Structure 1
Amino acid sequence: MGSLFYGSSPTPIRVPDRVLAHVKVVIATKLRRGESFTLSWRHPSGEPTGRSTLWIQPSIPLRFVFGSAEPEALDPALLHSLATSANSSGGLTIDLDDHAVPSVSEAH
């Protein structure tokens, strides 16, 4: 399980490593272009019901921390889908359930 630290908040957003690896690539690509967007998710089980949205922009610091020392294999089709979502008016929406993003070996 990985963590996304947003802004100056010391409280991380817990994200499965496979999801976080894909989200990191999409966010880095958007920010490199100077593009701002929203990142949204439903609260996972075990947390109060609801959903959260962050405004992602180049001036707000982000830190990605992965639970595994080995980098995750990336699925090009999933990256394309997430990038398309990030470019939409609804922004990037992710699923924090670990089983929601198949590993590359499972997807092929």
Structure 2
Amino acid sequence: MAALYRRCGDSGGAMLVTSRDESFGMAAAEALMCGCPLITNDLPVFREVFPNSDMIKRVDIWQPEQFEQAAKALLAVPDQEACRHMYEHLSSTYGPAAFMAALNAALEA
């Protein structure tokens, strides 16, 4: 999937997340870490998990004009600095090292 997400981001595409409810958004996180922008419903979990970024357009996707504006805003290939920042944020917050640190802290408590 990583290759597909990279190809999508490199070609000016975006992942469309149509969920009305999410527990975490693992596929969305994977796409972002590969440089693929998101158009997603404005869900609380995405506001909590993902930082503010030009790579993410949070809209009511059931409102065609909002979806259209988000799609037009993401036509350009994402800025490499924004991609690097997103990757670093997600990997440091939710990656293996962060998981192990949280697990060790829980075991020591």
Which structure shows the bigger proportion of residues in strand conformation?
A: 1
Q: TM-score, normalised by structure 2?
A: 0.27
Question: Which is higher, the Rg of structure 1 or of structure 2?
Answer: 2
Which of the pair has the greater relative contact order for Cα pairs under 8 Å at 6+ separation? 1
| Higher normalized helix content (fraction of residues) | 2
